[in-house]
């Protein structure tokens, strides 16, 4: 044999060649930008643990949404910080709740923007859990009724999609039935299907003021050690009528994404969560990593693993980079 016939480096010799044979391409069209809406007017308050992210009052958020859309991001995911909290999280399903008001304003100001609403109770309950609590337990079936109302009021306010993140059993089926019975059969459900009880959510707890006041979320969110169970959770949500299924977090769970891509035909979303964001941001601020390269590389990896849709706090900035 002469010197190896195969020299993979031949196709790496120039950017034009590398670009021609590139297997995975990032597009702003697949990004979703998570945003936090709070009471008041004229509010734009930076979230300490997530620099560059803010609590926005409805008026300022509406302006921001126009600029997000103009940057080329097609969709936002809304989280609400209510005026007050109670045991049953009534702020979540109040037709005049913070998210419902925000949706109406955004759809008026930027009708082309896809508005997705997170459906959960934890930002609205005084105990910070994702459902109704009785004697220290998060009750599954009574919670479903409140989640259904939450999703319905969001869709009635004009949300283009609802995204249950609670991890209660049977949530997608209950929400689907509620929407269908109220003339909202066309509203899709993006289910947080494989959502792990992850330490990577740390910074979000401050952003959404949603840390549980007692215990943790391990009785409903998934054990990080489990892979087969994730496939079962995804299969259940699809059987119940989910239109898009999500894996969360993203980068530490690429094996779950890749496996889900092989096993299911449904559109797949991945959430690059607050901890993933803040780790990159902190290292970049310390001068330890090349910020732009590491952001693009992490998003490319998530896409390569199989995500069709990526939720990321970098969405607006990345859309600008990709569009330039």
**Distance in Å, CB of 119 to Zn ion, minimum:** 9
Segment 155-194, which members bind Zn ion (CB under 5 A)? none
Count of residues interacting with Zn ion (CB under 5 A): 3
| Contact letters for Zn ion, residues 63-102 (x by CB under 5 A) | ----------------------------------------
Q: Which is nearer to Zn ion, 68 or 162 (CB)?
A: 162
Segment 110-149, which members bind Zn ion (CB under 5 A)? 120, 122, 130
**Distance in Å, CB of 208 to Zn ion, minimum:** 9
Question: Among all residues, which ones are annotated catalytic?
Answer: 195, 248
Q: Which residues contact 150 (CB under 8 A, 6 or more apart)?
A: 92, 93, 119, 120, 121
Q: Which is nearer to Zn ion, 123 or 160 (CB)?
A: 123
Please count the CA atoms within 13 angstroms of the CA of 75 that sit on its side-chain side.
22
Are 100 and 114 within 8 A, CB to CB? no
**Distance in Å, CB of 139 to Zn ion, minimum:** 14
Q: Which is nearer to Zn ion, 207 or 318 (CB)?
A: 207
Query: Residue 207, interface with Zn ion (CB under 5 A)?
Result: no
**Distance in Å, CB of 85 to Zn ion, minimum:** 13
Q: Which is nearer to Zn ion, 100 or 221 (CB)?
A: 221
Residues forming a β-bridge with 192: 246
Q: Give the distance between the most distant pair of CA atoms in the chain.
A: 76
**Distance in Å, CB of 117 to Zn ion, minimum:** 13
User: Cα 142 vs. chain centroid, distance in angstroms?
Assistant: 24
Segment 13-52, which members bind Zn ion (CB under 5 A)? none
The pair phi, psi for residue 248, each rounded to 5°, is -150, 130
Q: Which is nearer to Zn ion, 120 or 244 (CB)?
A: 120
* Continuous H helices in the chain: 15-20, 58-70, 98-109, 140-157, 171-181, 202-207, 228-239, 254-263, 274-285, 291-305, 315-323
3-state secondary structure of 294: helix
Read off the tokens for 38: 């709070």
Residues that bind Zn ion in the complex, under the rule CB under 5 A? 120, 122, 130
């Amino acid at each position: 044999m002469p010197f190896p016939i195969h020299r993979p480096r031949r196709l790496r010799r120039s950017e034009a060649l590398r670009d021609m044979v590139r297997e995975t391409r990032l597009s702003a069209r697949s990004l979703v930008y998570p945003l936090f809406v709070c009471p008041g007017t004229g509010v734009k308050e930076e979230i300490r643990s997530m620099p560059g992210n803010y609590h926005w009052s409805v008026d300022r958020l509406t302006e921001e949404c126009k600029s997000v859309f103009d940057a080329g991001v097609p969709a936002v995911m809304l989280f609400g910080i209510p005026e007050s909290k109670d045991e049953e999280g009534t702020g979540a399903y109040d037709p005049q709740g913070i998210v419902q008001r925000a949706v109406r304003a955004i759809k008026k100001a930027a009708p082309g923007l896809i508005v997705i609403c997170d459906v959960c109770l934890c930002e609205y309950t005084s105990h910070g859990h994702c459902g109704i609590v009785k004697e220290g337990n998060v009750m599954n079936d009574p919670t479903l009724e409140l989640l259904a109302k939450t999703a319905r009021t969001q869709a009635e306010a004009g949300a283009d999609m609802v995204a249950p993140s609670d991890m209660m059993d049977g949530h997608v089926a209950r929400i689907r039935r509620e929407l269908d019975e109220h003339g909202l059969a066309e509203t899709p459900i993006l289910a947080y299907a494989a959502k792990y009880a992850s330490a990577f959510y740390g910074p979000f707890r401050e952003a959404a003021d949603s840390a549980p006041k007692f215990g943790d979320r391990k009785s409903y969110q998934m054990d990080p050690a489990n892979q087969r169970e994730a496939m079962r959770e995804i299969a259940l949500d699809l059987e119940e009528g989910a239109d898009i299924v999500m894996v969360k977090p993203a980068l530490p769970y690429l094996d779950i994404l890749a496996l889900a891509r092989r096993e299911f035909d449904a559109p797949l979303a991945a959430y690059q969560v607050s901890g993933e964001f803040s780790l990159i941001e902190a290292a970049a601020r310390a001068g330890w990593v090349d910020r732009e390269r590491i952001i693009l590389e992490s998003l490319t990896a998530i896409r390569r693993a199989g995500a069709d849709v990526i939720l990321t706090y970098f969405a607006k900035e990345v859309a600008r980079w990709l569009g330039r």
